[in-house]
Structure 1
Amino acid sequence: MSMLVAALIFVPLLAAALALLLWSFGASWPIRDRALLAATMRGAPGATAMWPKTLSFLLFLVALALGVLSLALADHDGGGWVLTLTGAVIGIVFLARGVLGYTEGWKARTPNEPFRTLDRKTYSPVCLVIGTGFVVLALMRLL
């Protein structure tokens, strides 16, 4: 059961990592140009450019590492309490980001479309699922 939960976390993290890797090389996939990609990924007013390519690459490494960490959490014998605590903290961070997407303060800070709609319909729910998965994996390691 824990491998299924880990796989359900790993897939969206791997997809995000691959997109970030492509963006770090200057691609705008799956959007037709970088200006629209910036509007899709950044909701801040006046955001017309993507973040620096080096940041995209660093985020690629983080997303990939989080995906690998989710798979490591499925192994109940490895990592000890440090891995369990790390998974729980990461889960709480993802849950907080997911909830944040539905607050009025976040809506005011990120009003640009299409980010606003995508955040409400996709980004925040995916963060809630990933966060729940990490917390579940951490709890499964304790039981």
Structure 2
Amino acid sequence: MSMLIAALMFIALLAVSVAHFIWSVGQTWPIRNEKLLAQTVAGFRDIERMPPKMASLAVAIATLLAGILALALADHDSGGFPLTLLGLPLAAVFLVRGALGYTAWWADKTPEPSFRFNDRRVYSPLCLMLGAGFLTLVIMRLL
């Protein structure tokens, strides 16, 4: 069961990683222009351009590493207790980001309509599921 959870998490994190990598090299896929892409994926008030390319590259690397860590957590014989503990901060990061998406504070910071729509429908639920997945993998390793 843990391998199935980790595999599904890896697929989602790999998709996020690939998208951020594409943006880090200056492409706007799957949106037609940079302004609309920035409004859709960043959502900050009056945003006109995507965040710096190095930020997208950092997110691409971080999400890929998170996906690899999920797969490692599914192998109960790998990494020992330190690896198990590493899953907890990742669970916290994703759970906090997911919950943040439903707050009035975050809605005020990210008012772009296309971002708000996608954040409530995709980004925040995905983060909550990833956080729950990391937490589940940690618990399964401890049992």
Q: With the length of structure 2 as denominator, give the TM-score of the two structures.
A: 0.97
CA distance in 2, matches of 1:65, 1:100: 23
Identity value in percent: 51
Deviation at 1:60, TM superposition (A): 0.8
Alignment of 1:47-62 (within 5 A): 47-62=47-62
Deviation at 1:88, TM superposition (A): 1.6
Alignment of 1:62-141 (within 5 A): 62-141=62-141
* CA deviation vs aligned residue, 1:74-97 (integer Å, no higher than 9, x gap): 010111111111112211210111
CA distance in 1, matches of 2:92, 2:60: 20
| Displaced runs of 4 or more, over 2 A | none
CA distance in 2, matches of 1:123, 1:45: 18
* CA deviation vs aligned residue, 1:70-123 (integer Å, no higher than 9, x gap): 000001011111111111221121011111100111111111120011101110
CA distance in 2, matches of 1:96, 1:60: 19
Alignment of 1:4-83 (within 5 A): 4-83=4-83
CA distance in 2, matches of 1:15, 1:104: 28
CA distance in 1, matches of 2:93, 2:57: 21
Aligned residues: 143
CA distance in 1, matches of 2:118, 2:63: 19
CA distance in 1, matches of 2:35, 2:104: 26
CA distance in 1, matches of 2:113, 2:85: 37
CA distance in 2, matches of 1:5, 1:46: 38
Matched residue type, 2:96: A
CA distance in 1, matches of 2:62, 2:97: 16
Q: With the length of structure 1 as denominator, give the TM-score of the two structures.
A: 0.97
CA RMSD for the aligned pairs?
0.8
1:16 aligned counterpart, secondary structure: helix
Deviation at 1:52, TM superposition (A): 1.0
